[in-house]
A and B are shown apart, each in its own frame.
Chain A
């Protein structure tokens, strides 16, 4: 099968379809794309957990750019707090990244499973509160 930099056409088709679906779900339910990107990259595309997490962060960028652009038009974005959060985040990113690099892929994968279950619980709680 024809490959581009080691990615087959079938692999790419699956990734494009799942990426689109993840974007729709993220927009629809107000969760970040990353929570869907990481399991897509590991379970469907076979990436190792650390590679999936790194790649997810890169894939988040276009999604967030589109979302922020839309929210900016509605006047919802408060830029100074956003930048303050992002700058304070640098220390957290280094700490979280170093911890992730020190953990084995299978431990990280299980921790991510717990994160998914907690996210599901938060969604369910939000729905109960709103309706």
Chain B
């Protein structure tokens, strides 16, 4: 099982650094599909791994002089508070319609970036 984690970590690190995201989007499905994790432990374990991958990415981009720490603080600290609220609301609010609406908004922003 441990050996299967190596390519998953590699892929998550690659995507995480390439796009400035944590890599959860590749890690969670692979932990479930390839490493045999159940959904909740997969998400929680991915979250902890994202912390390490993001830290590695910060070091990499920091060396290249791309970091804007003040922007990160004024975005990241409120986001941490928001994440607490969001996870609390998840059981009550995250239904099919709302998730679909969110997917449409994400796709819209994606198209905005493409054109």
Q: Which residue of A lies closest to B15 (CB)?
A: A96
B89 → A minimal CB distance (Å):
6
How many chain A residues sit at the interface, stated as a range, is: 35 or more
* Complex interface bits, A104-131 against B, C-beta within 8 A gives 1, otherwise 0: 0000011111111111111110110001
Interface centre among B7, B67, B103 (most CB of A within 10 A): B103
A14 → B minimal CB distance (Å):
9
Q: Known contacts A81-B35, A120-B104; decide if A86 and B9 are in contact (CB<8 Å).
A: yes
Residues of B within 8 A of A94 (CB): 13, 17, 60
Instruction: Verify B20–A57 contact, CB threshold 8 A.
Output: yes
Choose one: B6, B58, B110; the contact of A120 (CB below 8 Å): B110
Instruction: Verify A85–B14 contact, CB threshold 8 A.
Output: no
* Alpha-carbon distance between A129 and B44 when the two chains are bound, in angstroms: 20
How many chain B residues sit at the interface, stated as a range, is: 35 or more
Interface centre among B6, B20, B73 (most CB of A within 10 A): B20
* Complex interface bits, A76-110 against B, C-beta within 8 A gives 1, otherwise 0: 11110111111111111111110111000000011
B53 → A minimal CB distance (Å):
4
> What are 16 pairs between A and B in contact, CB < 8 Å?
A7-B71, A15-B74, A24-B82, A27-B86, A30-B43, A32-B24, A43-B112, A53-B20, A54-B20, A60-B50, A71-B43, A83-B49, A93-B53, A112-B110, A113-B113, A126-B99
